[in-house]
């Protein structure tokens, strides 16, 4: 089917840019109505001084074939999230099929140094933005899915179980991402009896807008950056994890993944989807075998 999610309603939090934007667009391409939330609008600037807005993402969703709806929402503010839920109830008669929990916004507060040298206020602000937002969202939004007795909740994190056994270089960042992965797992025990599937999902080496700018390339010429960083050869576009979300949401046997920590590359092999360039990057296997493992001289191209 060209639109396997036609008629379904999705909420992508933190959908302004990066993985959230890629997920929202691919859900739209699959025919879904997608609510896109974030703090950056065409009227209010980005705390990260970035140009992307939730309206831009919503327009891209609609252009892809779905219906994009931008809603400014600070997921640290319970009243904002409650207002978002009321809007979905009013506009969609309470229907929500897919919740993609992707809030982050902590990059400006993470310092790659030992915890005793890390600014405490910055670390705690990152913790609030990166983890507390997920808890507030789940507490407030989950009743929509539980009442219907069906649905999918995806906690977007950084790293599957393999990566969670390794320190990420910042105590605050590490704790946030491990906790989000854990959220996707333990939430399954609470929602599975109500017909809802919960899991965590990670991209690999993500070619976000900021990463492309860092290497001074665009998506069409991303391979030019490999000369600067050989590991960039394993990178993947935000559409790759978006296609993973669509494959999960369209799977009639979705419950098989309940409580698992999954990666876009793993799901690509299972479902057969590809990234924009037709490849299937296996970043988790690459990191396990080459980056952290014994194959230090491995060619990243062999993993896509």
Q: What does the alpha-carbon distance between residue 206 and residue 176 come to, in Å, rounded to a whole number?
A: 18
pLDDT at 46: 78
Q: Closest Cα partner for 16 from 75, 103, 83, 82?
A: 103
Q: Closest Cα partner for 34 from 77, 76, 2, 71?
A: 71
The helix/strand/coil state of 65 is coil
Q: What does the alpha-carbon distance between residue 32 and residue 22 come to, in Å, rounded to a whole number?
A: 14
pLDDT at 74: 96
pLDDT at 301: 87
Fold adopted by 9-212+238-281? Rossmann fold (3.40.50)
Q: What does the alpha-carbon distance between residue 150 and residue 148 come to, in Å, rounded to a whole number?
A: 6
pLDDT digit string (tens) for the chain, length 304 residues: 589 999 999 999 999 999 999 999 999 999 999 999 999 999 998 778 899 999 999 999 999 999 999 999 999 999 999 999 999 999 999 999 999 999 998 889 999 999 999 999 999 999 999 999 999 999 999 999 999 999 999 999 998 887 777 888 899 999 999 999 999 999 999 999 999 999 999 999 999 999 999 999 999 999 999 999 988 999 999 999 999 999 999 999 999 999 999 999 999 999 999 999 999 999 999 988 988 888 888 888 889 8
Task: Write down the domain spans for the chain.
Answer: 9-212+238-281
pLDDT at 1: 53
Q: Closest Cα partner for 23 from 80, 51, 64?
A: 64
Return the residue matching tokens 């959220």.
183
pLDDT at 290: 86
Global pTM? 0.96
pLDDT at 263: 96
């Amino acid at each position: 089917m060209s639109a396997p999610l036609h008629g379904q309603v999705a909420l992508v939090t933190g959908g302004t840019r990066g993985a959230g934007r890629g997920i929202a667009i691919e859900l739209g391409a699959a025919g879904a109505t997608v609510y896109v939330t974030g703090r950056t609008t065409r009227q209010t600037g980005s705390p990260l001084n970035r140009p992307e807005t939730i309206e831009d993402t919503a327009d891209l969703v609609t252009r892809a074939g779905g219906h994009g709806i931008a809603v400014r929402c600070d997921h640290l503010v319970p009243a904002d999230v409650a207002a978002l839920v009321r809007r979905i109830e009013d506009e969609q008669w309470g229907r929500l099929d897919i919740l993609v929990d992707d809030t982050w916004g902590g990059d400006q507060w993470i310092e790659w140094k030992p915890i005793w040298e890390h600014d405490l206020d910055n670390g705690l602000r990152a913790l609030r933005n990166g983890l507390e937002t997920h808890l507030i969202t789940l507490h407030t939004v989950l009743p929509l899915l539980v009442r219907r007795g069906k649905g999918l909740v995806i906690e977007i994190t950084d790293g599957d179980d393999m990566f969670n056994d390794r320190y990420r270089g910042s105590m605050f960042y590490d704790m946030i991402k491990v906790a989000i992965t854990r959220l996707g797992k333990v939430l399954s025990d609470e929602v599975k009896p109500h017909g809802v599937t919960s899991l965590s999902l990670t991209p690999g080496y993500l070619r976000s807008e900021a990463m492309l700018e860092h290497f001074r390339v665009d998506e069409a010429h991303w391979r030019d950056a490999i000369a600067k960083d050989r590991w960039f050869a394993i990178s993947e576009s935000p559409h790759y994890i978006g296609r993973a979300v669509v494959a999960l949401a369209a799977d009639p046997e979705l419950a098989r993944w309940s409580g698992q920590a999954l990666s876009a590359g793993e799901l690509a092999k299972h479902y057969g989807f590809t990234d924009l360039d037709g490849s299937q990057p296996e970043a988790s296997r690459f990191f396990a075998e080459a980056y952290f493992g014994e194959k230090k001289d491995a060619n990243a191209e062999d993993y896509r």
